[in-house]
Amino acid sequence: MDSFLIEGGEPLKGVIEVSGSKNAALPIIMASIAVDDEVVYTNVPDLRDIHTTINLLNILGREAELRDGVVTVKNGALSMEAPYDLVKTMRASVLCLGPLLARLGEAKVSLPGGCAIGARPVDQHLSALEKMGASFDLENGYIHGRCPGGLKGAHIRFDFPTVGGTENVLMAACLARGETVLENAAREPEIVDLANFLIRCGARIEGQGTTMMHVWGVERLRGCSYRIMPDRIEAGTFLIAAGVTGGELLLRHCPLGDMSAVVDKLRAAGMVITEVPEGVLARVGEEGLKCVDVCTRPHPGFPTDMQAQFMVLMCCAQGSGLVEENIFENRFMHVQELVRMGADIHVTGSSAMVRGGRKLTGAPVMASDLRAGAALVLAGLAAEGETRVQRIYHVDRGYEHLADKLSAVGARIRRVKEAD
Ligand code: EPZ
């Protein structure tokens, strides 16, 4: 397993290119299952989860490949089983359920296990698809879905705005008979990107980006080419990298319009974030950083995927701030690792009180999940001395060429091989 070795204390200065969005690319590439002919995707990030998705599509009978940021998916006789060995490495594999049911009338997908940040059940996905005529059996750890007569439109009301649930139902509804209403739908920008892709393929969708979506089923979805949107979480992570190192970064292709909640909080904490013709400029203001409270919410609220990274910024700021995690039940795994680096953080239930103003010191730490790993890299960049972030395969899932991008703007970071 690889680690990152980081010598902290360098202010980062320069230009960073924001890559395509992992959380848009995964459902949008998975949606090719529901498309009749070839699809070409551009601006696709080179990430472990993208390779996993491509492996899954090939196992399902599609011919998929990634080359220089372009994913091509060719038609092929579809099979309906997504195997455990693959699904266990990427929960988002469950997003093949909706399109497979829509295309084949049957799907057998390994029940995705939980992960470090929570149990992450898929009950909302299944109950919605049942309303559309599917039935499910749990067989030896697999969800076996059947809808022999095909899916039919239904009025779906989610108990809460589940991102994956909205995506699965949206893809299924495109080929269902009749109209599907998705009430209390997720509003994340990645949902809008998925809807725009499906519309490009001939789907009839309205209301994407709002809590009420309407889908009218069509006979088939035709191939097209599509450019994946930029990654707002990667971008937010780099904005914070400028903050915790006291540097100045220019982000190119930064989707500022999708990042209001994050940018508002960063500005309230004392960062100066300016849109310029070349991109978005980020640095710490004259008054320095100060702690602010933050609580994670579904979009357009503050994204849970930025919670760990924001906590590191609070460690480097004056005062104290309360960080509340409302989306996942166990998303403070980074706290103990930050405490080992000298942070003053106390967790009570779903809240963490951060007392800033203390210099972080380098230490060996371990990534437990994707965003916790990213947060530990940020902490290493800010800390005095050397930090070794272990198990960075978590980070490789969601950050394209992270060490290269950071080194190019002055970070002293390198990937080292660890004995397994
Ligand atoms: C997506 O996960 C993202 N993953 C996550 O990003 C992100 O944190 C999350 O949305 C919230 O924004 C991808 O897009 C691939 P949810 P998803 O369904 O779809 C519970 C990252 O770091 N829930 O909105 O799984 C669930 O347990 C990853 O890039 C149910 O109880 O999120 C969680 O507590 C991490 N039943 C909450 O809802 C269900 O049927 C949010 O889940 C579905 C979800």
Task: Give one DSSP letter per residue of 376-393, joined into a string.
Answer: HHHHHHHSBSEEEEE-TH
Q: Where exactly are the structural domains of the chain?
A: 2-18+230-417, 22-227
Task: Decide: 162 in ligand 1 pocket, CB within 6 A.
Answer: yes
Q: Which pLDDT belongs to residue 120?
A: 73
% pLDDT > 70, the chain: 99
Q: Whose CA is nearest to atom 28 of ligand 1?
A: 305
Q: Residue 121: enclosing H or E segment and its boundaries?
A: none
Query: One fold for both 2-18+230-417 and 22-227?
Result: yes
Q: Whose CA is nearest to atom 30 of ligand 1?
A: 121
% pLDDT > 90, the chain: 89
Grade residue 84 by pLDDT with cuts at 50, 70 and 90.
Answer: confident
Q: Are 373 and 116 in contact (CB under 8 A)?
A: no
Share in percent of the chain as helix, strand, coil (round to 5): 35, 30, 35
Which tokens belong to 121? Answer: 């059940």
Q: Which residues pair with 389 in a beta bridge?
A: 4, 365
Which tokens belong to 383? Answer: 């800390």
Exposure class string for 27-61: b at 16+ Cβ within 10 A, else e:
bbbbbbbbbeebbbbebbbebbbbebbbbbbebbe
CATH for 22-227 is: 3.65.10.10
Q: Which pLDDT belongs to residue 86?
A: 83
Q: How far is the CA of 96 from the centre of ligand 1 (A)?
A: 15
Q: Which pLDDT belongs to residue 283?
A: 98
Q: What is the pLDDT of residues 200-232, one digit of tens each?
A: 999 999 999 999 999 999 999 999 999 999 999
Token match 């030896």: residue?
140
Q: How far is the CA of 305 from the centre of ligand 1 (A)?
A: 10
Task: Decide: 94 in ligand 1 pocket, CB within 6 A.
Answer: no
Is a pLDDT exceeding 80 seen at residue 112? no
- Please calculate the CA angle 414-48-383 and round it to the nearest 5 degrees: 30
Grade residue 199 by pLDDT with cuts at 50, 70 and 90.
Answer: very high
Nearest in space to 371 (alpha carbons), one of 325, 300, 307: 307
CA distances in angstroms from 380 to 305, 374, 388, listed in the order given: 19, 10, 8
Which of 91, 125, 126, 163 has most ligand 1 atoms within 8 Å of its beta carbon, as the pocket-test mutant?
A: 163
Which tokens belong to 208? Answer: 């994407």
Measure the CA–CA gap between 21 and 44, rounded to whole angstroms.
7
Q: Are 384 and 362 in contact (CB under 8 A)?
A: yes
Q: Which residues contact residue 357 at a Cβ distance below 8 angstroms, ignoring those fewer than 6 apart?
A: 317, 318, 319
Q: Which pLDDT belongs to residue 420?
A: 64
Q: Whose CA is nearest to atom 38 of ligand 1?
A: 162
Task: Decide: 163 in ligand 1 pocket, CB within 6 A.
Answer: yes
Is a pLDDT exceeding 80 seen at residue 56? yes
Measure the CA–CA gap between 289 and 292, rounded to whole angstroms.
9
Grade residue 87 by pLDDT with cuts at 50, 70 and 90.
Answer: confident
Task: Decide: 125 in ligand 1 pocket, CB within 6 A.
Answer: yes
Helical axes 333-340 vs 370-382, angle rounded to 10°: 20
Q: What is the pLDDT of residues 343-379, one digit of tens each?
A: 999 999 999 999 999 899 999 999 999 999 999 999 9
Round the average pLDDT of the chain to a whole number and report it.
95
Is a pLDDT exceeding 70 seen at residue 113? no
Q: Which pLDDT belongs to residue 419?
A: 72
Nearest in space to 232 (alpha carbons), one of 309, 306, 126: 306
Least confident of 14-28, 74-88, 133-147, 172-186: 74-88
Q: What topology is assigned to 2-18+230-417 in CATH?
A: UDP-n-acetylglucosamine1-carboxyvinyl-transferase; Chain (3.65.10)
Which one-letter amino acid corresponds to residue 13?
K
Which of 162, 187, 194, 395 has most ligand 1 atoms within 8 Å of its beta carbon, as the pocket-test mutant?
A: 162
Task: Decide: 328 in ligand 1 pocket, CB within 6 A.
Answer: yes
Average pLDDT over every residue of 144-173: 97
Q: What is the pLDDT of residues 274-333, one digit of tens each?
A: 999 999 999 999 999 999 999 999 999 999 999 999 999 999 999 999 999 999 998 999
Q: Whose CA is nearest to atom 13 of ligand 1?
A: 23
Q: Which residues contact residue 256 at a Cβ distance below 8 angstroms, ignoring those fewer than 6 apart?
A: 263, 275, 280
As annotated, the active-site residues are 115
Which tokens belong to 55? Answer: 């492996």
Q: Where are the beta strands (DSSP E) in 58-170?
A: 63-67, 70-74, 81-82, 106-110, 135-139, 142-146, 155-157
Average pLDDT over every residue of 73-80: 87
